[in-house]
């Protein structure tokens, strides 16, 4: 990832209580008086990392990262109550207002692109630009491809590990079967399912296996939050109509916003079909398919185009 900016530390961290249950962790790095940008992490449930600061020129941008409900350092960890797409959309606005930001660039990949679209379509006014990677809109077809019959044909050996915790009689509905185990009162059942769910995604996120990501999937606390929150959102279909984020009435609210879409050709978690559907609905958006990349923002070709996109918007 030669394209990324150097490692930097946050100059401010804080917490924001957003409901009776949830308190969010946030951090700010880069230029204190710079152009605000908010980073929306994936999963949902994935949380942020120090690497996420490095897609932005720290001389130019005031870089805001926050961990969404139940994710990362936000508390309570892995909590599913009051945790929906629309709660998170409101949280993005809560963070913006709490930090006294008028307008900002919004950057999100995978689930982060889902949340970025839902946020911008709900609150277009504060959004100066959108940088979207590995487009995911939580349509049924997208979930079936990754969790039932699609990626399984490309990564058959990892798929066998993914289905291993699920009794054969329940494998015709993997989302439902995992929902049962990820909400089990039996810690052993829940954590085995969380590790298997997380390893499935981390084993398929790059063209070449990302061993760091796979090891992360084995960390119980991270895997528990990532798996439980992802499955919770997907089992409930994001509390959206199928295809809602791509509807004309929704896209028309954001077509004036400068937008860059970056998509890996061989992304098997969020296949290019959704990025292409977004481009066809939103022709003004700049659109890049990276020929030798999968899903991860860490893929060289994807990281390079993401940094070019944030530099493109540095003058806004
Ligand atoms: C649809 N879920 C994929 C997603 O949002 C995602 N993929 N990788 C991540 C992390 C980098 C946060 C682990 O999130």
pLDDT at 218: 85
Using pLDDT thresholds of 50, 70 and 90, give the confidence band for residue 210: confident
**Tokens, residue 123:** 């609150």
Question: Residue 306 corresponds to which tokens in the numbers above?
Answer: 């993401």
Which atom, in ligand 1's list, is nearest to the CA of 146?
1
The answer to whether 206 touches 295, Cβ cutoff 8 Å, is yes
Residue whose CB lies within 8 A of the most ligand 1 atoms, among 111, 151, 234, for a mutation test: 111
Query: Has this prediction a pTM greater than 0.95?
Result: yes
Tell me the percentage of the chain whose pLDDT exceeds 90.
96
* Those residues with Cβ within 8 angstroms of residue 167's Cβ, 6 or more apart along the chain or in another chain: 177
Instruction: Give me the DSSP letters along 230-280.
Output: HHHHHHTGGGS-TTGGGSHHHHTTTTTS-EEEEEETT-SSS-HHHHHHHHH
Give yes or no: 82 in active site: no
d(CA 171, CA 173): 5
Class of domain 10-138+239-315: alpha beta
Residue intervals in the chain for CATH 3.40.50.1820 = 10-138+239-315
Q: What pLDDT score was predicted for residue 90?
A: 99
Distance 33 CA to ligand 1 centre (A): 30
Q: Of the residues 22, 179, 288, 295, which is catalytic?
A: 295
Q: How far apart are CA 152 and CA 283, in angstroms?
A: 32
Query: What is the whole-number distance in angstroms between the Cα of residue 198 and the centre of ligand 1?
Result: 9
Atom of ligand 1 nearest to the CA of 41: 12
> How far away, in angstroms, is 110 Cα from ligand 1 center?
6
Question: How many Cβ atoms from other residues are within 10 Å of residue 6's Cβ?
Answer: 7
Tokens of 44: 């949902």
Distance CA 216, CA 182 (A): 18
User: pLDDT (tens digit, 9 = 90+) per residue, 130-162?
Assistant: 999 999 999 999 999 999 999 999 999 999 999
217 confidence band (pLDDT: 50, 70, 90): confident
How confident is the model at residue 209, as a pLDDT? 87
Query: For residues 208 and 219, what is the distance between their CA atoms, to the nearest angstrom?
Result: 21
* Confidence class for position 89, pLDDT limits 50, 70, 90: very high
Say which of 110, 152, 203, 296 is annotated catalytic: 110
Ligand 1 site residues, Cβ closer than 6 angstroms: 41-43, 46, 110-111, 136, 201, 205, 269
Identify the helix (H) or strand (E) that includes residue 36: strand 35-40
Query: CA–CA distance from 175 to each of 159, 183, 231, 235, 281 (Å)?
Result: 14, 12, 7, 6, 29
> Does residue 295 have an active-site annotation?
yes
Q: Decide if 9 is catalytic.
A: no
């Amino acid at each position: 990832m030669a394209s990324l900016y150097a490692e930097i530390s946050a100059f401010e961290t804080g917490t924001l209580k957003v409901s009776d249950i949830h308190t969010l962790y946030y951090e700010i790095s880069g230029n204190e008086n710079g152009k605000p940008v908010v980073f929306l992490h994936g999963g949902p449930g994935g949380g942020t990392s120090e690497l996420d600061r490095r897609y932005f020129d720290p001389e130019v941008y005031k870089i805001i990262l926050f961990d969404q409900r139940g994710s990362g350092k936000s508390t309570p960890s892995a909590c599913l109550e009051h945790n929906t797409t629309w709660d998170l959309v409101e949280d993005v606005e809560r963070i913006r207002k709490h930090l006294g930001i008028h307008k900002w660039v919004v950057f999100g990949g995978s689930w982060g692109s889902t949340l970025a679209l839902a946020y911008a379509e709900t609150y277009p006014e504060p959004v100066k630009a959108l940088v979207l990677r590995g487009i995911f809109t939580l349509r049924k077809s997208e979930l079936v491809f990754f969790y039932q019959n699609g990626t399984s044909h490309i990564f058959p050996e990892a798929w066998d590990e993914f289905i291993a915790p699920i009794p054969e009689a329940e494998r015709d509905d993997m989302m439902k079967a995992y929902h049962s185990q990820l909400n089990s009162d039996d810690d052993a059942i829940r954590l085995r399912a969380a590790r298997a769910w997380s390893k499935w995604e981390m084993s398929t996120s790059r063209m070449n296996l990302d061993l760091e990501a796979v090891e992360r999937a084995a960390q119980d606390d991270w895997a528990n939050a990532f798996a439980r929150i992802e499955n919770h959102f997907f089992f409930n279909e994001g509390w959206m109509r199928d295809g809602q984020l791509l509807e004309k009435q929704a896209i028309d609210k954001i077509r004036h916003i400068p937008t860059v879409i970056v998509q890996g050709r061989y992304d098997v978690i969020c296949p290019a079909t959704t990025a292409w559907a977004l481009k066809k609905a939103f022709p003004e958006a700049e659109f890049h398919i990276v020929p030798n990349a999968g899903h991860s923002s860490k893929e060289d070709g994807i990281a390079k185009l993401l940094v070019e996109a944030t530099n493109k918007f540095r003058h806004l």
